[in-house]
């Protein structure tokens, strides 16, 4: 028969019935078994618990040997009978401070496993050797030494069913039903019976009343299998191991089996043979056990071992309000006492929050079960766990000292820079992370790391975490290596000692989890006789670069390694821990990307100028030209020759007006008959372009152009203009460029007569050329980790531009439209410059130049409207733009700290094809002025967006 719960027996207290000797007042002896069972075993001496089935049943012993039986119900508590500690005269049993308990199947005093720390008797118990079986006859023995190798008994909180099979176990004197209690050998014996009654007992035999004072008791009798007539209560059929308790069984537990598990339901109280008077343990004996169901609350409230837990949130161990029972956990062992109970504590941390221990404390067991729960043992502080420590989840941080019988990391994490003293530290599935930041954790014991466990080591440039073991270290599982947050970064191969074991190192890590960032990598883990060494490698930037375009700057940065410059070391360290993508992005902050913004400023200036001159030349085409000029001149001659004749004057004026209208079939009705003119045009363009490293450049260009032009012939106009512009460019990661351009340009516009032989006339051609001097102030900001650098510079340059446009205009009523084509050329040049303000990361930038050649094929349309006193002409245009030189721009530079390591940064290639659309409105103001409002934008560009707004004023005279 097997049990997972321990059982105990105690002395049976008999009523002394003088006349009939129905029971004995001497202690009850061990189990008395039916005769045939003892005979089958070869005698009662051979019949005992040889398989150690009831491990939790213990033998209470003193200097004279067995005196009672008890049951271990937790590691610090034995449940027994109160009368075990009284003499018949009502005095306390002497020498209890020398008593102890053993749980061996043969429980001799020499095998004592624990002394008594204190004894707590039920306060309502009344000791009466005369005949009262008190149903509060229970006591709790606090053990001075925790028993952790014996399973504990479970208490049933409800009454068992009558008719249930019950189990008796005890250590006292033993015998058979016909020859009872003849031996005393401290052997644990097992018997069974049937629970006959749960009722009060009240029997009077002669002058003695044997009773339970009206309280229910668990009652059964010892049936003789050969003589049913000896039955006293319940069934007369004996069980296979029919038995009774006897002297030495008092305090022992009565067990029932429910669902394959054994439960304690009662404590041995008294017995007596009221049938024969033959003494203790014979057939016919009646046995009484105290029911435990009514007493389980008292047992739980008075158990010397308290299970406490901390409330949620952070707090101090020393704060009583933090604990579930309102008492600071700290074992109380005043020395053996019957008046002052000992107190022992099992502490469980499951709620989120950290408990901080700042004073020395002793408990029995510490268990961490909550993933967000934590205990921090402060430096200079000791926590002693007499039974053990288990971490299932959460964090145990030891900066002071943890003394524990055993340490098991089933999960969670052990960290800190203190010392753990234990018989064995077993890391089954947890994580040990020595130090707080970089530090050493000492295990004053052997260390065993299993397959699912992890040793986590953090490193910096010069040091690493270390696990220091005073015993042996047996390794398996995972070694995880990472860089300590905020630590200096090793930029070259470095070796560290991460584990030392004075008793030797065996095994090895099955897995190396390399959690090092960026350029760092685990090169080797070496298992030595008493040490484990870790070698970390650091790749060069050039080796690790993800984008070939950045290989040049990566090599330049590599040339800065080994410098004593703190700024350089900090920047390189922070770059070294980034991912390749992150690092390439931040390279853009160290490269001369402002060189690209200066080029973009030049291109934006040229585009603005081309737009301003294009609008001006379109206006110039709205004048008298071609064959119609002869008509105008003829009408003028007729007008001049009227000689004052009113009728002739009126006729001449009419002919002149008709000739003028006929001369301008392609122009709005409000065209200005100019010969010399002036214009002023203002434009604003804005947008953004891509830059290396995923950055963006937002730009805004404002330009102002003023010009004078002269009509050389009716079909040809030439002019000259002066321009200035300012471009502001802001980088998405910080930094800016303020560029200025001052330039001059010449332009010409030609248009054929309406009746010319080619395409029916109305063909136009425009041309322009310009040059500008540029200057720029730049600021380059690099934000790399905690490092912020700002470099400033100023530089100069030039922009050259030229263009040709041609088209054909057809007119149908008030609407004119036609195709157009253009070719534009721009070349920008930026002089070299040297930055200031960023120390070794200042850039020396070489001269740079870029050329753009674009063609445009498109169409334009306009429509004339008269609205009150205003003559308006809205227009629109659309064209396909093609870039013939889409090569990516380049800028060459070197760092001030490494002037010999020049590198070239390549920008993003320009788009080769896109659409450009424009809309506008021309309005006549008076007889000699025009106002033009326009806007155009680029559509379909991959890395650039650009929109231009323009306003021009034209005056003719």
Check whether residue 383 and residue 248 sit in a common domain.
no
Which pLDDT band, with edges at 50, 70 and 90, does 403 fall under? very high
pLDDT (average), residues 125-151: 90
- Of 415, 838, 293, the residue nearest 594 (C-alpha): 838
pLDDT (average), residues 125-145: 89
Check whether residue 403 and residue 270 sit in a common domain.
no
Residue 84 CB neighbours (<10 A): 27
- Which distant-in-sequence residues (6+ apart) come within 8 Å of 605 by Cβ? 701, 703, 723, 725, 727, 741, 743, 772, 774, 799
pLDDT (average), residues 46-54: 94
Does residue 163 carry a pLDDT above 70? Answer: yes
CA dist 381 and 329 (Å) reads: 15
Does residue 954 carry a pLDDT above 70? Answer: no
Residue corresponding to tokens 């050493």: 440
Predicted pLDDT at 674: 53
Instruction: Name the domain boundary from 274, 300, 326.
Output: 300
Predicted pLDDT at 928: 57
Helix (H) or strand (E) holding 858: strand 848-863
Does residue 369 carry a pLDDT above 60? Answer: yes
- Of 879, 744, 865, 866, the residue nearest 807 (C-alpha): 879
CA dist 129 and 202 (Å) reads: 16
Lowest mean pLDDT among 77-86, 172-181, 203-212, 271-280: 271-280
Lowest mean pLDDT among 139-153, 315-329, 912-926: 912-926
Query: For residue range 898-933, what is the model confidence (pLDDT) as tens digits?
Result: 888 898 888 777 889 999 998 988 887 555 567 888
Tell me, yes or no, whether 74 lies in a domain: yes
pLDDT (average), residues 671-691: 75
More confident residue, 292 or 635: 292
Residue 8 CB neighbours (<10 A): 36
286-291 and 77-80 strand pairing: unpaired
Contact 747, 721 (CB under 8 A): yes
243-244 and 32-33 strand pairing: antiparallel
| CATH code assigned at 201 | 2.40.10.10
Check whether residue 779 and residue 927 sit in a common domain.
yes
Tell me, yes or no, whether 321 lies in a domain: yes
Predicted pLDDT at 648: 44
Tell me, yes or no, whether 904 lies in a domain: yes
Tell me, yes or no, whether 628 lies in a domain: no
Contact 698, 713 (CB under 8 A): no
Structurally, the chain folds into a number of domains equal to 3
Residue 840 in tokens: 């070794």
pLDDT (average), residues 794-812: 91
Contact 92, 338 (CB under 8 A): yes
Check whether residue 327 and residue 261 sit in a common domain.
no
Query: For residue range 828-883, what is the model confidence (pLDDT) as tens digits?
Result: 999 989 989 888 888 999 998 999 999 999 998 988 887 766 778 898 999 999 99
Predicted pLDDT at 278: 62
Predicted pLDDT at 123: 94
Lowest mean pLDDT among 10-14, 654-658, 764-768, 859-863: 10-14
pLDDT (average), residues 479-507: 94
Predicted pLDDT at 129: 65
pLDDT (average), residues 84-111: 89
pLDDT (average), residues 934-941: 88
CA 53 to mean position of chain CA atoms: 49
Phi-psi group of 735: left, alpha or beta (phi > 0 → left; psi -120 to 50 → alpha; rest → beta) = left
Which domain covers residue 154, as residue numbers? 32-300
Instruction: Name the domain boundary from 541, 560, 577.
Output: 541
Does residue 431 carry a pLDDT above 60? Answer: yes
Residue corresponding to tokens 């930055």: 835
| CATH code assigned at 823 | 2.40.128.130
DSSP 550: G
Query: For residue range 585-617, what is the model confidence (pLDDT) as tens digits?
Result: 777 778 887 777 778 778 888 888 888 888 888
Predicted pLDDT at 249: 86
Predicted pLDDT at 755: 64
Helices 628-640 + 646-663 axis angle, to 10? 170
Check whether residue 321 and residue 450 sit in a common domain.
yes
CA dist 206 and 397 (Å) reads: 71
Task: Please give the C-alpha separations between residue 529 and each of 465, 471, 500, 504, 506, in angstroms, as whole numbers.
Answer: 19, 13, 9, 6, 8
Which pLDDT band, with edges at 50, 70 and 90, does 246 fall under? confident
Check whether residue 264 and residue 317 sit in a common domain.
no
Lowest mean pLDDT among 35-49, 666-680, 695-709: 666-680
Check whether residue 324 and residue 284 sit in a common domain.
no
Contact 896, 592 (CB under 8 A): no
Predicted pLDDT at 276: 65
Tell me, yes or no, whether 568 lies in a domain: no
Does residue 21 carry a pLDDT above 90? Answer: no
DSSP 136: T
pLDDT (average), residues 348-361: 98
pLDDT (average), residues 314-318: 98
Instruction: Name the domain boundary from 541, 575, 603.
Output: 541
pLDDT (average), residues 328-353: 92
Contact 295, 122 (CB under 8 A): yes
Tell me, yes or no, whether 219 lies in a domain: yes
Which pLDDT band, with edges at 50, 70 and 90, does 633 fall under? very low
pLDDT (average), residues 94-118: 90
Predicted pLDDT at 660: 45
Tell me, yes or no, whether 749 lies in a domain: yes
Check whether residue 810 and residue 826 sit in a common domain.
yes
Does residue 569 carry a pLDDT above 90? Answer: no
Check whether residue 856 and residue 888 sit in a common domain.
yes
Predicted pLDDT at 646: 45
CA dist 34 and 223 (Å) reads: 9
CA dist 48 and 46 (Å) reads: 6
Strand, helix or coil at 306? strand
Contact 331, 356 (CB under 8 A): no
Does residue 56 carry a pLDDT above 60? Answer: yes
Lowest mean pLDDT among 202-211, 670-679, 801-810: 670-679
Check whether residue 897 and residue 950 sit in a common domain.
yes
Check whether residue 313 and residue 173 sit in a common domain.
no
Does residue 73 carry a pLDDT above 90? Answer: yes
Tell me, yes or no, whether 288 lies in a domain: yes
**Mean of per-residue pLDDT scores for the chain:** 85
Does residue 789 carry a pLDDT above 90? Answer: no
Predicted pLDDT at 248: 82
Check whether residue 239 and residue 325 sit in a common domain.
no
């Amino acid at each position: 028969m097997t049990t997972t719960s321990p059982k105990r027996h105690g002395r049976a207290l008999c009523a002394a019935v003088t006349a009939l000797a129905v029971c004995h007042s001497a202690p009850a002896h061990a189990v008395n078994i039916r005769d045939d069972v003892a005979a089958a075993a070869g005698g009662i001496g051979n019949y005992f618990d040889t398989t150690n089935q009831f491990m939790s049943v213990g033998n209470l012993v003193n200097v004279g040997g067995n005196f009672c039986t008890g049951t271990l119900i937790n590691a610090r508590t034995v449940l027994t009978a109160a009368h075990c500690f009284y003499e018949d005269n009502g005095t306390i049993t002497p020498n209890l401070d020398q008593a102890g308990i053993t749980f061996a199947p043969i429980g001799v005093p020499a095998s004592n496993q624990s002394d008594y720390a204190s004894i707590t008797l039920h306060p309502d118990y009344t000791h009466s050797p005369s005949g009262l079986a008190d149903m509060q006859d229970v006591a709790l023995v606090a053990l001075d030494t925790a028993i952790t190798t014996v399973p504990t008994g479970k208490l049933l909180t409800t009454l068992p069913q009558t008719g249930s099979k019950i189990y008796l176990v005890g250590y006292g004197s033993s015998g058979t039903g016909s020859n009872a209690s003849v031996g005393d050998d401290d052997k644990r014996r097992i018997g069974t019976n049937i629970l006959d009654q749960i009722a009060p007992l009240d029997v009077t035999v002669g002058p003695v009343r044997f009773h339970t004072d009206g309280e229910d008791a668990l009652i059964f009798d010892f049936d003789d299998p050969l003589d049913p007539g000896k039955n006293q209560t319940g069934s007369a059929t004996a069980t296979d191991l029919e038995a009774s308790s006897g002297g030495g069984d008092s305090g022992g537990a009565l067990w029932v089996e429910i669902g394959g598990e054994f439960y304690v339901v009662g404590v041995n109280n008294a017995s007596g043979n009221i049938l024969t008077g033959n003494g203790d343990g014979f057939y016919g004996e009646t046995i009484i056990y105290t029911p435990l169901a009514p007493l389980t609350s008292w047992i739980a409230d008075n158990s010397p071992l308290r299970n406490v837990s901390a409330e949620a949130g952070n707090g101090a161990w020393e704060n009583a309000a933090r604990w579930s029972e309102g008492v600071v956990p700290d074992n109380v062992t005043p020395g053996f006492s019957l008046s002052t109970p000992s107190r022992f504590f099992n502490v469980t941390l499951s709620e989120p929050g950290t408990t901080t221990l700042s004073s020395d404390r002793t408990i029995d067991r510490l268990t961490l079960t909550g993933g967000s729960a934590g205990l921090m043992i402060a430096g200079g502080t000791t926590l002693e766990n007499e039974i053990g420590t288990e971490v299932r989840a959460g964090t145990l941080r030891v900066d002071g000292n943890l003394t524990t019988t055993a340490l098991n990391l089933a999960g969670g994490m052990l960290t800190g820079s203190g010392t753990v003293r234990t018989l064995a530290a077993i890391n089954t599935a947890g994580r040990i992370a020595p130090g707080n930041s970089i530090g050493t954790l000492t295990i004053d014991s052997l260390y065993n790391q299993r397959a699912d466990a992890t040793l986590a080591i953090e490193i910096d440039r010069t040091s690493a975490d270390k696990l220091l073991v005073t015993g042996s270290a047996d390794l398996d599982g995972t070694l995880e290596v990472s860089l300590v947050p905020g630590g200096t970064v090793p930029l070259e191969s470095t070796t560290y000692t991460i584990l030392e074991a004075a008793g030797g190192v065996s095994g090895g890590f099955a897995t190396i989890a390399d959690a090092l960032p960026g350029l760092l990598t685990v090169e080797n883990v070496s298992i030595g006789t008493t040490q484990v060494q870790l070698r970390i490698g650091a790749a060069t930037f050039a080796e690790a670069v993800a984008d070939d375009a950045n290989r040049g700057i990566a090599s330049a940065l590599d040339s800065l390694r080994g410098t004593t410059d703190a700024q350089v070391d900090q920047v390189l360290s922070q770059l070294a821990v980034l991912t390749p993508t992150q690092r390439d992005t931040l390279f853009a902050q160290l490269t001369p990307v402002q060189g690209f913004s200066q080029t973009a400023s030049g291109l934006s200036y040229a585009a603005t100028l081309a737009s301003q001159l294009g609008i001006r030349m379109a206006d110039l085409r709205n004048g008298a030209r071609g064959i119609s000029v002869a008509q105008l001149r003829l009408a003028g001659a007729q007008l001049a020759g009227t000689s004052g004749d009113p009728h002739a004057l009126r006729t001449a004026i009419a002919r002149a007006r008709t000739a003028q209208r006929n001369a301008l079939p392609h122009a709005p009705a409000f065209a200005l008959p100019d010969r010399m003119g002036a214009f002023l045009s203002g434009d604003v363009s804005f947008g953004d372009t891509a830059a290396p490293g995923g950055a963006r450049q937002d730009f805004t260009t404002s330009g102002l152009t003023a010009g004078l032009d002269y009509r050389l012939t009716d079909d040809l106009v030439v002019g000259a203009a002066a321009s200035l512009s300012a471009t502001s460019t802001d980088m998405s990661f910080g930094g800016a460029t303020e560029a200025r351009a001052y330039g001059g340009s010449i332009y010409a516009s030609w248009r054929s007569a309406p009746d010319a032989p080619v395409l029916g006339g109305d063909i136009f051609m425009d041309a322009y050329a310009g040059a500008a001097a540029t200057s720029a102030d730049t600021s380059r900001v690099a934000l790399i980790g905690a490092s912020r650098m700002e470099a400033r510079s100023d530089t100069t340059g030039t922009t050259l531009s030229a263009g040709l446009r041609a088209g054909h205009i057809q007119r149908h009523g008030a609407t004119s439209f036609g195709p157009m084509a253009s070719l534009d050329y721009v070349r920008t040049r930026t002089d070299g410059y040297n930055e200031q303000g960023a120390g070794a990361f200042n850039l020396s930038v070489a001269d740079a130049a870029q050329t753009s050649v674009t063609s445009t094929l498109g169409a334009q349309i306009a429509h004339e409207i008269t609205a009150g006193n205003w003559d308006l002409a809205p227009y629109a245009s659309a064209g396909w733009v093609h870039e013939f030189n889409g090569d990516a721009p380049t800028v060459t530079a070197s760092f001030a700290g490494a002037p010999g390591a020049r590198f070239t940064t390549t920008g993003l290639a320009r788009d080769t094809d896109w659409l450009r659309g424009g809309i506008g409105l021309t309005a006549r103001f008076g007889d000699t002025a025009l106002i033009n409002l326009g806007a155009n934008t680029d559509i379909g560009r991959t890395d650039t967006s650009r929109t231009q707004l323009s306003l021009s004023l034209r005056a003719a005279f």
